[in-house]
Structure 1
Amino acid sequence: MNTKTNETRQHILDVGYELILSKGFTAVGLSELLKTAEVPKGSFYHYFKSKEHFGEVLIASYFEGYLARLDTLLNEAEGTGYERLMGYFRRWLEVDAGRCNAHKCLVVKLGAEVSDLSEPMRDALHQGAIQITATIARCIDAGIEDGSITEQDSTTTANVVYQQWLGASLLSKLSQNTQQLEFALAATQSLLKR
Structure 2
Amino acid sequence: MGYKHNKEDILEVGYQVIRKNGYHHVGINQILKEAGIPKGSFYNFFESKEDFARQVIQYYGEGNRKWLQDIFQKSEETPINTLKSFYKLLIGYNEEDNFCSGCLINNLGNETGRLYDSLAEETKEQFDQWLDIIAEVARKGQEVKEITSSFTPKEIANYLHSGFYGTFFKMKVERSRKDMDTWLEMTFKFIKA
Q: What is the TM-score with the length of structure 1 in the denominator?
A: 0.89
Instruction: Find the aligned partners of 1:121 and 1:29 in 2 and give their Cα distance.
Output: 16
Instruction: Find the aligned partners of 2:143 and 2:88 in 1 and give their Cα distance.
Output: 22
Structure 2 counterpart of 1:80:
78
Structure 1 gap ranges (5+): none
Residue identity over aligned pairs, in percent, reads: 28
Between 70-79 and 138-147, the greater mean CA deviation after superposition: 70-79
Q: Secondary structure at the match of 1:117?
A: coil
Q: Secondary structure at the match of 1:25?
A: coil
Instruction: Find the aligned partners of 1:65 and 1:177 in 2 and give their Cα distance.
Output: 27
Q: In the TM superposition, what are the counterparts of 1:1-194 in structure 2 within 5 Å?
A: 8-97=6-95, 99-100=99-100, 105-153=103-151, 154-194=153-193
Deviations 1:45-64 (A, max 9, x none): 11111111111100000000
Q: CA deviation at 1:147?
A: 3.2
Instruction: Find the aligned partners of 2:70 and 2:175 in 1 and give their Cα distance.
Output: 29
Cα RMSD of the aligned pairs, angstroms, is 1.7
Contact 1:108 1:170 (C-alpha < 8 Å) held by counterparts: no
Deviations 1:100-129 (A, max 9, x none): 45xx51022211211122111111111111
Q: CA deviation at 1:27?
A: 1.1
Q: How many residues align?
A: 188
Q: Secondary structure at the match of 1:125?
A: helix
Instruction: Find the aligned partners of 1:156 and 1:60 in 2 and give their Cα distance.
Output: 23
The letter of the residue matching 2:14 is: G
Between 124-133 and 147-156, the greater mean CA deviation after superposition: 147-156
Q: What is the TM-score with the length of structure 2 in the denominator?
A: 0.90
Instruction: Find the aligned partners of 2:186 and 2:108 in 1 and give their Cα distance.
Output: 25
Between 91-100 and 122-131, the greater mean CA deviation after superposition: 91-100
Structure 2 gap ranges (5+): none
Contact 2:100 2:175 (C-alpha < 8 Å) held by counterparts: no
Instruction: Find the aligned partners of 1:75 and 1:151 in 2 and give their Cα distance.
Output: 22
Normalized per residue, the structure richer in helix is 1
Instruction: Find the aligned partners of 1:113 and 1:72 in 2 and give their Cα distance.
Output: 29
The letter of the residue matching 1:120 is: S
Q: CA deviation at 1:76?
A: 3.9
